[in-house]
A = this chain, B = another copy of it.
Amino acid sequence: MVNKELNVFNQIAKALFTDEKENPISEIIPPNELAARLSIELNEEAIPDGVFEKALKEIILKTPKTSSKLFFNQLFGGRQPKAVLGELLSVLLNNSMYTYKVAGPQVGVEKEIIKKSCELIEYGDNYGGTFAAGGSMSNFMAMLMARDRADKSAIAKGVTKPLIAYTSTDSHYSVPKNAAFAGIGRDNVRYIPTDENGQMIPNALKQAVEKDLAAGKQPFFINATAGTTVLGAFDPIPAIADIAETYQLWLHVDGAYCGSVIFSEKYRHLIKEVNRADSFNYNAHKMLGVPLSCSVLLVKNKANLYKSFAKEAAYLYQTDHAFDEFNLGKTSMQCGRRNDALKLWTLWKSIGRKGLGEIVNQQFYLADVARDYLRANREKYNLYSFEDSISICFNYKGVDAKELCTRLYEQNALLVGFGSFKGDTFVRFVTINANNSKKEILHFFKVLEKEAEKLLSEKVIAYAN
């Protein structure tokens, strides 16, 4: 890379940082107006650098700002500077993580994260792990390992048994998607009901397993969730682990959203006994504010990773045979794989495990601020969520959540989404951006209330007419 492009990068980066403060919400461009309003078109000929840079800058500044103080739409938001530093450097290094020959010390970086993460969850000596392309793919890898343990001939011969997977009604939609990918089928996923806090009901799980066994099916996999997508609920791992052990089922804990509580002494208890799970994942690009993607998959027994994912390839694995565990391609789903480890390492290295814990704690603190505000204003709000969740679910009385979220989006006011649980639909406000303080949380409500009040008054007018 020449210094010229680095200069352009710095200029646009600074313009972006300034714009994030001054215009935290980028004006929406309707999809059908994109072509007319931005120079996105690709052509045959080269264009002068000045023209190119102008087009690029416009597109950058019109892109939704996921790090601004008004972005609460997803289970990620904000950026940790030290993590961004690592990611920018990994772009320049451009190593592929399959072999030690090509990734060198970056292999050590990835292995150190896996080792220390496994220590935090007390996974013992046979631990292993890898980085998947995202939480869905971490869940998929877990399901494949479970399948291959339950059906010994699946790798060679394909799926032959009627395998059944279990997950809660509030779990992530990747579970049935993955069941289709794995040749198991979406109909062979059982959705276990949840209690009033959105947690899987262990007794219902047990009954479902026994029913399938009685019908001659083969249960093989339980997906428990640490941080459900809508409510941010934590399934009760100890009771679920009892069932997994009784029936010898693979237990995976999908901590894509909130598994990073392992870093917090205060909130680690929410995934108590996670060491009884066969696999566990956390997405550092969610709670830890690391750039996308950074999904860490941990397994209690690394032999399962090798069994499902290793495949010899003479053209690839040519050196360092004495240290074959440093050839990471043998435990990953992909072949070429970008370096998703360095950005988490730079953050962890600089602020320590305790600093990661503080990032997590800050999110729960902000969630408490939000819940306190909602309770203090109960004449205006219905609160649906409970303690120990960073998804604050609520409704502004008299205003439909879908309508309100869409309005906020279309008015370029703020970005937030809605969710449903047991028949209620509500705003889902996620306090995952740890760069925020109490001020931004209160500002969120102020912006929301303004639009909600407008919607209410429009209705009154419509009704009066």
Contact = CB atoms under 8 A, between A and B. Distances in A.
A251 B250 CA distance: 36
Given A4-B81, A92-B84, A137-B133, A177 B291 contact: no
A153 to B, nearest CB: 8
A64 interface: yes
Interface in A399-415: 402, 405-406, 409, 415
A193 interface: no
B74 A96 contact: yes
Contact of A63 (B34, B105, B308): B105
Given A13-B6, A92-B13, A158 B353 contact: no
Contacts of A17: 1, 3
Interface string A380-417: 00000000000000000000001001100100000101
Interface stretch (A54-62, A205-213, A274-282): A54-62
A44 B92 contact: no
Interface in A302-342: 308-309, 311-316, 318-320, 323, 326, 333-339
Interface in A360-390: none
User: How many A residues touch the partner, as a band?
Assistant: 35 or more
B188 A158 contact: yes
B109 A59 contact: yes
B116 A94 contact: no
A335 B172 contact: yes
Interface centre among A8, A64, A174, A355 (most CB of B within 10 A): A64
Given A55-B349, A176-B311, A183-B154, A76 B93 contact: no
A150 interface: no
Contact of A104 (B28, B180, B349, B406): B28
A29 interface: yes
A38 to B, nearest CB: 6
A258 interface: no
A448 interface: no
B85 A9 contact: yes
Interface in A2-19: 2-6, 8-10, 12-14, 16-17
Contacts of A172: 335
Interface stretch (A45-53, A121-129, A219-227, A457-465): A45-53
Interface in A414-465: 415, 417-420, 428
A103 interface: yes
A298 B53 CA distance: 28
A64 B95 contact: yes
A335 B286 CA distance: 13
Contact of A319 (B16, B34, B136, B406): B406
A24 interface: no
Given A292-B96, A314-B420, A104 B29 contact: yes
A133 B334 contact: yes
A101 interface: yes
A26 interface: yes
26 contacts: A16-B89, A31-B323, A38-B105, A42-B116, A42-B345, A44-B352, A45-B354, A46-B352, A47-B352, A56-B89, A62-B105, A64-B103, A87-B91, A158-B163, A173-B311, A173-B313, A180-B308, A181-B181, A181-B333, A229-B315, A230-B315, A292-B336, A292-B337, A315-B417, A315-B418, A318-B418
The 3 A-B residue pairs with the shortest CB-CB distance, nearest first, are A183-B183, A158-B185, A133-B133
